[in-house]
Amino acid sequence: MLHSVPPIDPKDSMDQDSTLPDAPPACAEGCDTEDKDDFSGSNAVVPDQSNTDVQLEDLFDEDDDDDEFPSSGVSKEDVSSSSPPPSPLQVAPSAKYSDPGVMKAFYQRLFPFRYLFQWLNHSMKPSNDFGHREFAFTLQNDAYLRYQSFPTSDLLRKDIIRQNPSRFEIGPVYTTNPRDRKTLRKSSAFRPLAKELVFDIDLTDYDEIRTCCNKANICHKCWSFITMAIKVVDVALRADFGFQHIMWVYSGRRGAHAWISDKRARNMDDQRRRSIAGYLEVIKGGAQSGKKVNVKRPLHPHLARSLEILKEHFQNDVLVQQDPWAQPDKAERLLQLLPDKMLNDALRKKWEAAPGRSSVSKWADIDALAKAGVSKHLDGKALLEAKQDIVLEYTYPRLDVEVSKKQIHLLKSPFVVHPGTGRVCVPIDSRRVESFDPLGVPTVTELIHEIDAWGPQHQDAEVEEGSKKVQDYEKTRLKPYVDYFRTHVGVLLRAEQGVKREREDDDPMEF
């Protein structure tokens, strides 16, 4: 049964944050929190400083099956009469992913602009869903340009190549073109209409419970927290709210973002977004706060389902891999979460006598001493509920709910390059989330070298066989991620066409 979001009063559908100022937003509300230190707060347009002379039409070779974007297939006749294939990109082995030349080559040769356009436009034909959409660029000199908008994919691509941003964010669809906001007689006429419902999970929010890494560092052990979070949130969004078009995207360093593109999700106002974020929020309080999980009994079906998903992860990924209570101060934190003082005293005494006792053993000690009768007044039901709350505290998703609450929040685009790691922000297949390796995601320099390594022998084979031209992304490890994105977008477009047909059938013209 779908979860019900309470109706709202139309008078409350707008709040003070709906009208945006011209200045860049505070990072707590208006930008990707993982990279908030990278913003400079400048709105000045900076001239392109690249020295690369490249004809755009010679570089844009994405294939297409419709009339809007012509096919880039190459025949034998075309090859014999055309110019030679593009020369290698000549990126030095020591080149860094932050080099402007590297980023320009990435945008020219690899970024899937066409599929990004279709994903945000919800149609093959340009519409206001794309034309009134805000984009924000972070330039190479850290200048930050807001309220950029483009009527077509090609114009977005050309401007990104010209500006060569280190990354860019995606904002909402507005009532009018964001570039024209200052021409409106009333500032209140410029307001957000729609945006994907988004969620943000960042491993820094797990620093108090992960023992392998901290801050911006990650490893396979602590990435399991992101895996758990994706599993729990994804099934809740699908089963409890009925959303279908959900795409998870690796943030490029230490987290993941969820983009929900269902029309019902895009059109939600801020109050409904807050309701869904509140529904999914269980862990509350900072690192210095006390008990972080306070849920009612009997458990809500969502929490009962989440415990079933998480219990195996708790045993293997938390108790074994993280060993969270190995240190005495951490073990004391565990005791604070248990409901019986006499049981706590017995456990403390046992653990002090065995300083090297593992977290697996300490967790087993709780039931063992409880059954041994160390406390005459132990409430078994209270102990069970306390243990459930502990499992949730150490495994349940720690969401940055502020990202989800407002339409105006900007979030980093899929497939941009993370400025701190050079890794591409690729989609994560939620059906195979266990196999996703964040440390195996290619960096931008690796991808460009892979294009160069494709070699003349492959190009000659294409000519001899008269086969369809191989796109640059297909020559690299980016291919499976772009293919997944293309499939996701195709499903979304078919669903949008179905919605339009239903609307036409439901609202016939009357005479």
The model's pLDDT over 339-392, given as tens digits with 9 standing for 90+, comes to: 999 999 999 999 999 999 999 999 999 999 999 999 999 999 999 999 999 999
| CA dihedral angle for residue 122, residue 126, residue 128, residue 133, rounded to 10 degrees | 80
HSE, side-chain direction, 13 A CA sphere, residue 203: 27
Task: Give dist(CA 323, CA 508) in Å, integer.
Answer: 63
The model's pLDDT over 148-192, given as tens digits with 9 standing for 90+, comes to: 999 999 999 999 999 999 999 999 999 999 999 999 989 899 999
200 is a catalytic site residue: yes
Assess whether pLDDT exceeds 50 at residue 81. Answer: no
Per-residue model confidence (pLDDT) at position 117: 98
The model's pLDDT over 182-237, given as tens digits with 9 standing for 90+, comes to: 999 898 999 999 999 999 999 999 999 999 999 999 999 999 999 999 999 999 99
Task: Give dist(CA 161, CA 155) in Å, integer.
Answer: 10
202 is a catalytic site residue: yes
More confident residue, 123 or 81: 123
Q: Which DSSP letter does residue 142 get?
A: S
Percent above pLDDT 70 for the chain: 76
Residue type, 482: V
Average pLDDT score over residue span 394-414: 97
Which residue out of 32, 34, 62, 134 is catalytically annotated?
134
More confident residue, 99 or 322: 322
The model's pLDDT over 38-80, given as tens digits with 9 standing for 90+, comes to: 333 334 433 333 333 333 333 333 344 333 333 333 333 333 3
Reported confidence tier of residue 287, pLDDT bands at 50, 70, 90: low
134 is a catalytic site residue: yes
Per-residue model confidence (pLDDT) at position 138: 96
Which residue out of 202, 205, 365, 472 is catalytically annotated?
202
Which residue out of 196, 200, 234, 270 is catalytically annotated?
200
